[in-house]
Amino acid sequence: EPEVTQTPSHQVTQMGQEVILRCVPISNHLYFYWYRQILGQKVEFLVSFYNNEISEKSEIFDDQFSVERPDGSNFTLKIRSTKLEDSAMYFCASPQGIRTEAFFGQGTRLTVV
C-alpha cells in the first residue's frame, strides 16, 4: 500500500506556542488533506490543498491554522497559538484525485499542556 509519512509522531507543546506538523504525501498524488481526530471522536476534515493553494477548508480551520508546501515533497500544517482544545491526532491524507482512494499517514499526536 502507498505510504504517507508524518513527523513527529508525538508532540507536546505549551499553550500559546506554535507547532508545525509535517507530512510527506505519496509522490505522484495531486491533492493533500489534513484531518483531525480528538480522542474518542470522529475524524474531521480540516483543509484540502491542490496546486499550492487551499481548495476547501472546514469551519474548524480558522485563522490560527495555515498550510504550506515549502518544497516539492513536504506538506505542513502550522498552528500559530495552540489551545488546550487543539490536543488531538492530526492526519495527513493523500488521494490521487478528488474522488479516489485516500491514504492516511500514521498521524501526529499533539498534546497541548
Angle value at C-alpha 111, between 60 and 16, nearest 5 degrees: 70
Nearer to another protein, 19 or 36 (CB): 36
Cell for 15? 499553550
- Shortest CB 16 distance to another protein, Å: 25
Interatomic CA distance for residues 12 and 14, integer angstroms: 7
Residues forming contacts to another protein in the complex (CB under 8 A) are 1, 4, 6, 31, 33, 35, 41-46, 48, 50, 55-56, 58, 89, 91, 93, 98-107, 109
- Cell 492526519 sits at which residue? 91
Nearer to another protein, 68 or 101 (CB): 101
Reduced DSSP (H G I as helix, E B as strand, rest coil) percent helix, strand, coil of the chain, to 5: 5, 50, 45
Nearer to another protein, 81 or 98 (CB): 98
- Cell 507547532 sits at which residue? 19
- Shortest CB 32 distance to another protein, Å: 10
Nearer to another protein, 74 or 104 (CB): 104
